[in-house]
Structure formats: C-alpha cells, structure tokens
Amino acid sequence: MNGALFAAPGIFVRELEPGDETKLASWPDTVYLGSDGHHWGSADSALENVEELKLLWDNVTVVCNADNGLPLGLLVWAEEPDGGCRFGLELAPDRIGRGIGRQLVISFIEFAFGILGYKELRAKVSASNTPALNLGRQLNFHLIDESYDVTPHCRLPIFTDKRYEPIRGNFRRERGVVQERVLELGLDVENWHPSVFE
C-alpha cells in the first residue's frame, strides 16, 4: 500500500501510474457513477479512456485490492467553481455487489471532508442505478437536480426488450438520440455522520 492516498477494509486508493492502462485493459465494460461507463478490452482503449478521464477530472486515481494491489476500479474528483467537489467512481461489473463501492464512497467522503477540506460533495447517478441511489440515501445525500444526458453507449433494446421494462421510463429518444434520466446528488459536511455506519 505504498503511496496510498487512503485505505478502507480490503482496498486502497493510489495515484495513477505509468503502465496502469495495461492492467486496466483486461477489464470488461465498466459501470460508472458520475458519467458514462467505458469499453476497455485493449491497452489502446484503456489508454484512450484514461486520457479522456484526465481531461475531464482534476484527479484520476486507482482503487486497488489490498491483498495483491490489482486495480478494482477508478475514483475521480474535481473541484467545482463554487468550491464544492464533484466525484465519480468506475468499477468493473464483476466487482459490483461486493460492498467495494460502499467502502470506497464512505472512505472518500472521510478523505474529502477531513483531509481535502471540502464542504460539499456532488455526484451524478443514473435514475435506473438503484444500488447507487440507495447508497446515496443511506449516506444522507440529497437531490440537487435532475436532467437527461446523452448516453452514447446505451443499448437500443432498452426500448424493445421486455427485460428492460422496469427501467425504460428513465430513457427517452429525442431526434434519434438516446437520453437517460440522471439525478445530481449532494452531501454537505454538516449532514455527514460517519458514526452511524460504524
């Protein structure tokens, strides 16, 4: 865990290092809180994804397994013009549902409020991402705004396949472009009570 920015049970977060794109190339497509997911699959795709993230965010960091140091996901954040902090995380689908995202978000909140000194955190969540919305509620995030964002990687069967019927209401087509309903959530430092989750 040398060079760790912060750690949580089973994970640590470190700065992006040269060669990480080779490790990230083996990831399947990812799920992302805060923006579109990515298609990895090759070192070239991974390098392109990492470069894109660096353009969009001030900080691009790697979430690693504490046992072997292998990348499990990415955590990004940037300061907003008003001094708040926008963040997002990206986990490979085989890491979803194991509590990694929860541990990561709680630890990042502690890091952002305690070490970095931010007073407010913000994240965008797909309205159909029930686990992320439930986690946000549990951690006292509140709704700031909602909008529709273009989803270039959206599978068009969302409108025809019966399996997607429960979440279809969160998508719309406008002039042939697929858009997804996105909720912006916020957490003020005064509303953060970490003792509740110990």
Residue with tokens 């697929």: 178
**What is the rounded radius of gyration, in angstroms, for the C-alpha atoms of the chain?**
17
The beta strands (E) that lie in the chain are given as: 4-8, 11-15, 31-33, 59-65, 71-79, 85-91, 120-126, 142-150, 171-174, 177-188
pLDDT of residue 189: 95
Q: Which of 92, 100, 75 has the alpha carbon at shortest distance from 9?
A: 100
Could you tell me the two tokens for 119?
Answer: 């007073």
DSSP string covering 116-132: S--SEEEEEEETT-HHH
Quick one: DSSP state of residue 155? -
Strand partners, 149: 180
pLDDT of residue 130: 84
Is the Cβ–Cβ distance between 21 and 54 less than 8 Å? no
- H/E stretch holding 105 reads helix 100-110
Residue with tokens 């986990």: 91
pTM listed for this prediction: 0.83
- The amino acid sitting at 148 is Y
Please list the rounded mean pLDDT of every run of 10 residues in the chain (198 residues): 82 87 62 49 72 87 88 90 91 69 90 95 89 89 90 65 81 81 94 62
Could you tell me the two tokens for 46?
Answer: 């991974």
pLDDT of residue 152: 57
pLDDT of residue 198: 43
- The amino acid sitting at 83 is G
pLDDT of residue 93: 64
**Residue 140: φ, ψ to 5°:** 70, 20
Could you tell me the two tokens for 176?
Answer: 């042939």
